[in-house]
Amino acid sequence: MNIGSAFQEFWNSTGVMNFTIGQVIMILVGLVLIYLAIAKRYEPLLLFTIGFGAILANIPIAEISGPEGFLGIFYQAGIANGLFPLLIFMGVGAMTDFGPMIANPKTMLLGAAAQVGIFFALLGALVLNMLPGMTFSLADAASIGIIGGADGPTAIYVTSQLSMRLLGPIAVAAYSYMSLVPIIQPPIIRAFTTKKERVIKMEQLRHVTKLEKMVFPIAALGLCIILLPTATPLIGSLMFGNLAKECGAVDRISDTLQHALINIVTIFLGLAVGSRMESQAFLTFETLGILALGLVAFAIGTMTGLIFAKIMNKVSKEQINPIIGAAGVSAVPMAARVASKVGQEENPQNFLLMHAMGPNVAGVLGSAVAAGILLAVVPVIM
Amino acid sequence: MSSIEQGLILMLVGVSVVFIFLVLLVFIIKIMSFIVLRYFPEKEEPPKKPSGGAGSRDAEIAAAIAAATAYSKQ
């Protein structure tokens, strides 16, 4: 070997010689995600890590997302087996206050109504199969639908169990739409409610005792154990975190779940999801279909939540401002903040935040239940 | 059975089970709250004590700051 051929070998191993067009495009997509995270603050913790993961995954030669690469190892350790989303759920549980929901339990039904979007998008995916280039199986359709649950960890969990190949686009769609809640929801809210409904004032919520907050996670988990064991990984993690927070006896655990653990897992989860954004898996027509269906799922969930809230307002004795129905699509706490903001624009004396938190946290339960149903039924009927 | 039919079935089953689950949870919460509030009402005393403690510490800090400011102005 002479100096010339050594330089030749080196030149052949540089990025310049080995890039494919797809990889360049995906690196640009990664940069866009990072831009959105830094400049627009759209779900920065996740879009930043996913974006950077996407850049790393599309570097030629290095094979960072391959089975031996470090992102591949993250992926195998916690996404392929569904571990990371569950750890995130523990943190979410430790940060969630179910108080507003316990104070006014019937608003939980709004969290159920808003899950209709999930199943609409599922159906939509099967209908899209008629287009060329789309081949969604029932399991794929179920994973796409769950984007409408507006809950990133749930979407990743379900997809990792049912339809691994679509993980990249589904996770990106789920987190993008969650961050776009303040843009997507207000026009839908205004379109489906009247001015008179939007100014409705709601009575202040009653005080919820500490014991009620402690019994709730056990009771909810109990119901889940009896009715829907396939949802217990999600609900069980959520309630583990919640009881740790509410009981007051294990503050160190609760503190770790809320801060250190969820932050660490977010880093691993984001990078590993980014590693699934390899060009050959991501740059397909199916990705466009998934992005479109995710938006449909989200919009329909918002709509059905609003419509159900209007019906509840007509039927029940006390008045219910239909705006809070839009918060049923989980995306905690963003959707509740949006509902509260829209309410305040109509009537500055109207404070809907706490009222919207009820349906909002019920939405998390609702999408976890929907996930449990899909995990229980889809593998059987396929 | 076409996949769209399967999707419709899944939709019906899914929406109804989500509703059934949350309706049951509403009842469970109502019963739970009724029992807890009736038989284990919260005592008013305990939350006040720690807040009183924190308050007096705040007062001490305020006094210390006031003393320090007065001293530095001399």
Q: Is the confidence at residue B43, as pLDDT, over 80?
A: no
Helices (H), chain B: 3-39, 45-73
Cα-flanking dihedrals φ and ψ of residue A34, to 5°?
Answer: -65, -40
Query: Do the Cβ atoms of B21 and A101 come within 8 Å?
Result: no
What number is the average pLDDT over the span A338-367? 93
What residue spans define the domains of chain B?
Answer: 3-43+50-72
The pair of three-digit structure tokens given for residue B11, joined into one six-digit string: 């939709």
**Mean pLDDT (whole number) for A116-127:** 94
Please state the rounded mean pLDDT for residues A239-252: 97
Amino acid in position A188? I
**Partner-chain residue, chosen from B3, B13, B19, that has the shortest CB–CB distance to A377:** B13
- pLDDT at position B73 over 90: no
Which of A220, A224, A381 lies nearest to residue B6, judging by beta carbons? A381
Asked if the bond preceding A333 is cis, omega within 30° of 0, the reply is: yes
pLDDT score, position A256: 97
Express each pLDDT in A196-223 by its tens digit: 999 999 989 999 999 999 999 999 999 9
Reported ipTM: the value is 0.91
Count CB neighbours of A35 within 10 A. 14
In the structure encoding, which two tokens stand for residue A88, read together?
């995130």
Query: How far apart, in whole angstroms, are the C-alpha atoms of residue A231 and residue A219?
Result: 15
At A352 the three-state DSSP class reads coil
Q: How many angstroms separate the CA atoms of B28 and B14, rounded?
A: 21
Of residues A161 and B44, which shows the higher confidence score? A161
CB A266 within 8 A of CB A46: yes
Judged by a CB distance cut-off of 8 A, whether residue B22 touches chain A is yes
Which element (helix H / strand E) includes A263?
A: helix A262-275
So what's the pLDDT on residue B56?
61
Give the C-alpha distances (Å, rounded to integers) separating A186 from A43, A118, A330, A342, B25. 18, 20, 15, 7, 29
CB contact under 8 A, A209 and B23: no
- B32 vs A contacts (CB less than 8 Å): 212, 215-216, 219
